[in-house]
């Protein structure tokens, strides 16, 4: 499914609700909450945090899905095409930043 | 372009670099940085923050693109399919949470 | 207790541990996790998020304490005096930004 | 200066403004913005991010001061005593979590 189709599918779901989208600052707070949950899992997996035995198994995939879902809701409210946004950032990586990171060298 | 194709395109670009991806905790710090930049714009647009005259015009689309790009880099390192993640969260919205938000009522 | 005394008390506790402080990027990930938890509570209290019945009562005081504790750990690792940092930001508010926010007018 | 005195000093300054404090969700968005700026500096110092030549010298002390200032503003709005909050978290570290982290052993 394309990014546009995902955004549309999220909107189709949202439009079934009495209040389709939260206010922008509520959406932002939720995004922070979801990013914080991913940070917790990263700290368990890659950082110095030790799991408490009571913690349930973490699922990076689920947290990333939640972040992407939030971002799509925010994009829908703003009228932003994430597809267009991605094309811009990929293009920027390939051009503007092309000398910013060290490239592999041919042997 | 599908989500898989975007992730692949990001990986194609990353693989041209000497160090294709940052360490996971560096990626996390960058994600927070990008979310913070979007928060700043939201505060200008929807919150109580007043722009300083020296600030350049904000671009929500660009910041959302940066966040999505970071998320794709993180997903590539983790071997996560964002497409699969999105399908799960959409399915969860349609089922598990189906009674959590008030639906529109037919007239 | 002064800010310096709090930082010292946190350090006294940390120095009893085999590894007194986490790595800086782990500390950063924990900070965003704690900020995310406060964001969740703010969304319940001020935003559009509806509590699930299973959620325990939230405690803004506790979350703020966790954030401040993390910040003190980070400051200790960096050798930063939060007291000096606060004095600078208060001074900045009173001088540099003095014309940035609208003052109350006398009647 | 004690934490209470700092909170009071921040409030004294805020009360000179026409609108002393931002709305809670605006404050939250600003907190994440400041945390994001600290994350950027941490990534330069400890992570994989390379500074662009145009970037100004970073100042961890200033960013930590901004975060603490924001937190004091939020605490003032909520009527939270950060001093009481710190005492609780320090007490929690010394008691509840006392077996969670490995202690130094005597030789």
Residue-wise pLDDT for C64-84, tens only, equals 999 999 999 999 999 999 999
Q: C40–A19: do the CB atoms touch at under 8 Å?
A: no
A5-9, A82-86, D93-97, range with the lowest pLDDT: D93-97
Average pLDDT of the segment spanning B35-42: 96
Cα–Cα–Cα angle for D22, D23, D25, nearest 5°? 120
Q: Which residue has the tokens 């600003």?
A: D30
Q: CB contact, 8 Å: C100 with chain D?
A: no
- By three-state DSSP, how is residue A48 classified? coil
Residue C89: the pLDDT is: 94
How many CA atoms are closer than 13 Å to the CA of A93, on its beta-carbon side? Answer: 23
Look up the CATH number of the domain holding residue A57.
1.10.287.1080
Counting as contact any 3 or more CB pairs under 8 A, the partners of D are A, B, C
Instruction: Judge whether B16 lies within some domain.
Output: no
Provide the chain D residues 64-93 that lie in CB contact (below 8 A) with chain C. Answer: 64-69, 71, 74-75, 78, 80-86, 88-90, 93
Chain A residues within an 8 Å CB radius of D26: 25
Residue C22 has pLDDT above 90, yes or no: yes
Low-confidence ranges of chain D (pLDDT < 50): none
Distance (Å) of CA C13 to CA C59, C83, D101: 24, 20, 11
Q: How far apart are CA D89 and CA D39, in angstroms?
A: 24
Q: What is the pTM of this model?
A: 0.89
Instruction: Choose the closest CB to C104 out of D6, D18, D81.
Output: D18
Q: How far is D9 from chain C (nearest CA, A)?
A: 8
Q: Are A92 and A17 in contact (CB under 8 A)?
A: no
Instruction: Choose the closest CB to B90 out of A9, A45, A102.
Output: A9
Distance (Å) of CA D83 to CA A24, B4, C62, D88: 32, 49, 11, 9
Q: Are D39 and B32 in contact (CB under 8 A)?
A: yes
Q: Which two three-digit tokens encode residue D67?
A: 């975060």
Q: How far apart are CA D26 and CA A19, in angstroms?
A: 21
Q: How far apart are CA A10 and CA A12, in angstroms?
A: 5
Find the closest chain C residue to A44 by CA distance: C26
Cα–Cα–Cα angle for A45, A48, A51, nearest 5°? 60
Give residue C28's domain range: 3-14+24-80
Instruction: Judge whether D41 lies within some domain.
Output: yes
* D79 backbone φψ class: left, alpha, beta (φ>0; ψ -120 to 50): left
Instruction: Judge whether C88 lies within some domain.
Output: no
- By three-state DSSP, how is residue B14 classified? helix
Q: B43–D37: do the CB atoms touch at under 8 Å?
A: no
Q: How far apart are CA B74 and CA B31, in angstroms?
A: 9
Q: How far apart are CA B75 and CA C43, in angstroms?
A: 27
Q: Which residues pair with D103 in a beta bridge?
A: C17
Q: How far apart are CA C76 and CA C10, in angstroms?
A: 8
Cα–Cα–Cα angle for B65, A90, A43, nearest 5°? 60
Cα–Cα–Cα angle for D47, B34, D34, nearest 5°? 85
Instruction: Choose the closest CB to D30 out of B32, B37, B49.
Output: B49
Q: CB contact, 8 Å: B34 with chain D?
A: yes
Residue B64: the pLDDT is: 97
Instruction: Judge whether B97 lies within some domain.
Output: no
Q: CB contact, 8 Å: D14 with chain B?
A: no
Counting as contact any 3 or more CB pairs under 8 A, the partners of A are B, C, D
Instruction: Judge whether B40 lies within some domain.
Output: yes
**CA torsion B95→B99→B101→B105, rounded to 10°?**
110
Q: A65–B85: do the CB atoms touch at under 8 Å?
A: yes
pLDDT, tens digit (0-9, with 9 covering 90-100), for C6-18 = 999 999 999 999 9
Residue D99: the pLDDT is: 59
Q: Which two three-digit tokens encode residue C2?
A: 């002064």
Instruction: Judge whether A65 lies within some domain.
Output: yes
How many CA atoms are closer than 13 Å to the CA of B60, on its beta-carbon side? Answer: 20
Chain B residues within an 8 Å CB radius of D19: 48
Confidence of residue B50 (pLDDT cuts 50, 70, 90): confident
Instruction: Judge whether D46 lies within some domain.
Output: yes
User: Alpha-carbon torsion D73, D78, D84, D87, what sign?
Assistant: negative
Number of domains in chain C: 1
Compare D96 and C4 and report the one with higher pLDDT: C4
Nearest CA to D29 out of A74, C67, C39 is that of: C39
Instruction: Judge whether B67 lies within some domain.
Output: yes
Residue C98: the pLDDT is: 58
Q: Are B76 and B22 in contact (CB under 8 A)?
A: no
Q: Which residues, at least 6 apart from B4, have a Cβ–Cβ distance to it below 8 Å?
A: B81, B83
């Amino acid at each position: 499914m394309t990014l546009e189709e995902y955004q549309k599918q999220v909107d189709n779901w949202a439009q079934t609700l009495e209040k389709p989208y939260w206010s922008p600052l509520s959406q932002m707070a939720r995004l922070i909450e979801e990013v914080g949950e991913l940070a917790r899992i990263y700290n368990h997996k890659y950082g110095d945090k030790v799991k408490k035995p009571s913690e349930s198994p973490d699922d990076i995939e689920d947290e990333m899905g939640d972040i992407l879902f939030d971002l799509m809701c925010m994009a829908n409210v703003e009228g932003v095409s994430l597809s267009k946004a991605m094309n811009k950032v990929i293009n920027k990586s390939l051009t503007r930043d092309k000398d910013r990171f060290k490239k592999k060298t041919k042997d």
